[in-house]
Amino acid sequence: MATKPTEPVTILSLRKLSLGTAEPQVKEPKTFTVEDAVETIGFGRFHIALFLIMGSTGVVEAMEIMLIAVVSPVIRCEWQLENWQVALVTTMVFFGYMVFSILFGLLADRYGRWKILLISFLWGAYFSLLTSFAPSYIWFVFLRTMVGCGVSGHSQGLIIKTEFLPTKYRGYMLPLSQVFWLAGSLLIIGLASVIIPTIGWRWLIRVASIPGIILIVAFKFIPESARFNVSTGNTRAALATLERIAKMNRSVMPEGKLVEPVLVSAGPRGLLLSPVATGESPQLLGISFAYYGVILASAELLERDLVCGSKSDSEVVVTRGDSGESQSPCYCHMFAPSDYRTMIISTIGEIALNPLNILGINFLGRRLSLSITMGCTALFFLLLNICTSSAGLIGFLFMLRALVAANFNTIYIYTAEVYPTTMRALGMGTSGSLCRIGAMVAPFISQVLMSASILGALCLFSSVCVVCAISAFTLPIETKGRALQQIK
């Protein structure tokens, strides 16, 4: 009976304890990041416009780069150029590209992707038009180098596309951008087949500048990257851009307030940005070396008719000048209509493997897909040495163009995904510079070494591709399905 009086006391003390520990809960406001907004808004009409306008930068870039391949036979004859002088034109274009890739990358990370893209197009169009008035070979080389400097900024279009696309669509939409590069390549070859024989190569350059000038006007419909705005603290502009996209897509924004994501330190800036740290260097060098090697080798094989050793570069060509006939050591052979057709057919190959490339990137991953296509590229370089018919040559070139285009697709997507937002433009610029080193070497293999030894040149291209195929397995990060990173 002594325990009965204690029961109320125990209950009262428990009640007091319960009342004493109860605290009012403060409801935290909802927040979201740009990544959350991009995924919530989803894919829609804005992204279609983005794809068409930013993808068209590939048309302009392809026309400027492929221009050298179709103009080389003409300037070789007009200025009586040696093999190394023709190769030097392409090398200097990529030298300008290499130097300004890093510069434009630094500026884009500081001042914005959109501004640098606009400046690069204005620069490229201006110097491209000036090239058509070049009075001599030296001036031609200098002005085309300036064009290469401008073209290097066109990669900002890819960055803007990457930063606006939802994660699950990047692996599908970015490879489809190859359609625009294909369109630019076909357009410049088609224009060359009509304009060069009639009104000359100078008018070809002037006409080729028109798409870039038109595209400058279309840029006003695309906003600055919201990820860039947030990374620089301009959340108000980023929010306005995201709301505009949501309205255009007829979608909704996430609830809450837009905030910057939590940043995680990734070590020294230089180490983070170095493609050596991400294991990309062999791929960047080798893919560019193989890609531009195929383009220039195709033109060289057609211009010199070197298939199966049918003709030799050492033969003397008779040219007729103002003073009558003269002997010239320069091989003076213009493209015939059949040569242009061969270039068009082989160029179409760049999109032939696009469906398989998209499937490989999204299901096998970026690394394994790259390794497979690089291995196949090495094989077809060796097959190109087989003495075959014209149809056989076209078939081999067709497959080579398809494979090297797939390689470029994969490495560009991987590079755009692997770098963080705050340093993505500089990372792409640094990677672009490494690509141009391979492109600078390619002309001397395709246009100089190939005239001496086709087998030697093709074996060199094949060996580089084998190294790239093996080293693709060493890439430390697989970006398939991975959200874009935001690291300080």
**Amino acid of residue 95:** F
Give pLDDT tens digits for 185-220: 999 999 999 999 999 999 999 999 999 999 998 888
pLDDT band at 471 (very low <50, low <70, confident <90, very high): confident
431 sits in the region (left: phi over 0; alpha: psi -120 to 50; else beta) called alpha
- Joined together, the tokens standing for residue 83 give 């093999």
Between 42 and 278, the higher pLDDT residue: 42
Average pLDDT over residues 217-229: 89
Helices (H), 165-253: 167-176, 178-195, 201-208, 210-218, 226-231, 235-248
Please state, for a pLDDT cut of 90, what percent of the chain lies above it: 23
Phi, psi of 326 (to 5 degrees): -145, 155
Helices (H), 349-389: 354-359, 366-383
Assess whether the region 31-262 and the region 271-307+332-487 belong to the same CATH fold: yes
Please state, for a pLDDT cut of 70, what percent of the chain lies above it: 81
Between 22 and 240, the higher pLDDT residue: 240
The CATH number assigned to the domain with range 271-307+332-487 reads 1.20.1250.20
Instruction: Kindly tell me the number of DSSP H helices and DSSP E strands found in the chain.
Output: 23, 4
* DSSP-assigned beta bridge partners for residue 32: 258
Q: How far is CA 272 from the centre of its chain?
A: 21
Coil, helix or strand at residue 385: coil
Among residues 347, 289, 346, the alpha carbon closest in space to that of 465 is found at 289
Q: How far apart are the first and last CA of the chain?
A: 71
Q: What is residue 25's predicted lDDT score, i.e. its pLDDT?
A: 57
Please report the DSSP string for 113-181 in residue order: HHHHHHHHHHHHHHHHHHHTT--SHHHHHHHHHHHHHHHGGGHHHHHHHHHHS-HHHHHHHHHHTHHHH
**Considering just the CA atoms, what is the radius of gyration of the chain in Å?**
28
Q: Considering only 24-38, 185-199, 228-242, which range has the smallest mean pLDDT?
A: 24-38
**Amino acid of residue 355:** P
Q: What is residue 49's predicted lDDT score, i.e. its pLDDT?
A: 92
What is the total residue count of the chain?
488
Q: Do the strands 257-258 and 31-32 form a parallel or antiparallel pair, or are they unpaired?
A: parallel
Q: What is residue 247's predicted lDDT score, i.e. its pLDDT?
A: 92
Q: What is residue 268's predicted lDDT score, i.e. its pLDDT?
A: 43
Query: What pTM was estimated for this model as a whole?
Result: 0.74
Give pLDDT tens digits for 354-379: 788 888 888 888 888 888 999 999 99
Rounded to whole angstroms, the Cα distance separating 377 from 469 reads 9
Q: What is residue 393's predicted lDDT score, i.e. its pLDDT?
A: 79
pLDDT band at 279 (very low <50, low <70, confident <90, very high): low
Mean pLDDT of all residues in the chain?
80
The superfamily (CATH) of domain 31-262 is: MFS general substrate transporter like domains (1.20.1250.20)
Question: Does 128 score more than 70 pLDDT?
Answer: yes
Please report which helix (H) or strand (E) contains residue 258, including its range. strand 257-258
Question: Does 241 score more than 60 pLDDT?
Answer: yes
Q: Do the strands 317-321 and 324-328 form a parallel or antiparallel pair, or are they unpaired?
A: antiparallel
Please report the DSSP string for 399-452 in residue order: HHHHHHHHHHHHHHHHHHHHS-GGGHHHHHHHHHHHHHHHHHHHHHIIIIIHHH
Question: Does 21 score more than 70 pLDDT?
Answer: no
Query: 14-23, 49-58, 338-347: which has the highest mean pLDDT?
Result: 49-58
Average pLDDT over residues 154-172: 84
Average pLDDT over residues 420-448: 77
Q: Considering only 32-46, 134-148, 305-319, 417-431, which range has the smallest mean pLDDT?
A: 305-319
Question: Does 278 score more than 60 pLDDT?
Answer: no
**Amino acid of residue 360:** G
pLDDT band at 28 (very low <50, low <70, confident <90, very high): low
Q: What is residue 314's predicted lDDT score, i.e. its pLDDT?
A: 40
Query: 210-219, 320-329, 356-365, 449-458: which has the highest mean pLDDT?
Result: 210-219
Question: Does 142 score more than 60 pLDDT?
Answer: yes
Rounded to whole angstroms, the Cα distance separating 316 from 328 reads 6
Q: Considering only 306-320, 438-452, 460-474, which range has the smallest mean pLDDT?
A: 306-320
Q: What is residue 328's predicted lDDT score, i.e. its pLDDT?
A: 44
Rounded to whole angstroms, the Cα distance separating 477 from 3 reads 69
Phi, psi of 141 (to 5 degrees): -60, -45
Estimate the crossing angle of helix 83-111 against helix 424-444, to 10 degrees. Answer: 180
Between 263 and 187, the higher pLDDT residue: 187
Which sign does the torsion angle of CA 281, 283, 287, 289 carry? positive
Rounded to whole angstroms, the Cα distance separating 236 from 241 reads 9
Looking up tokens 């090697």, which residue turns up? 293
Query: 136-140, 274-278, 471-475: which has the highest mean pLDDT?
Result: 136-140
Cβ atoms within 10 A of the Cβ of 30, count? Answer: 9
Question: Does 56 score more than 80 pLDDT?
Answer: yes
**Amino acid of residue 151:** V
Question: Does 138 score more than 90 pLDDT?
Answer: yes
pLDDT band at 15 (very low <50, low <70, confident <90, very high): very low
Could you tell me if 319 and 325 are in contact, meaning their C-beta atoms sit under 8 angstroms apart?
A: yes
Could you tell me if 415 and 280 are in contact, meaning their C-beta atoms sit under 8 angstroms apart?
A: yes
Please report which helix (H) or strand (E) contains residue 310, including its range. none
Cβ atoms within 10 A of the Cβ of 207, count? Answer: 18
Q: What is residue 325's predicted lDDT score, i.e. its pLDDT?
A: 40
Could you tell me if 254 and 36 are in contact, meaning their C-beta atoms sit under 8 angstroms apart?
A: yes
Looking up tokens 């006391």, which residue turns up? 9
Average pLDDT over residues 214-234: 88
Coil, helix or strand at residue 327: strand
| Distances in whole angstroms, Cα of residue 229 to Cα of each of 86, 232, 284, 324, 441 | 44, 5, 29, 66, 38
Rounded to whole angstroms, the Cα distance separating 175 from 162 reads 11
Looking up tokens 């990372």, which residue turns up? 427
- List the chain domain ranges: 31-262, 271-307+332-487
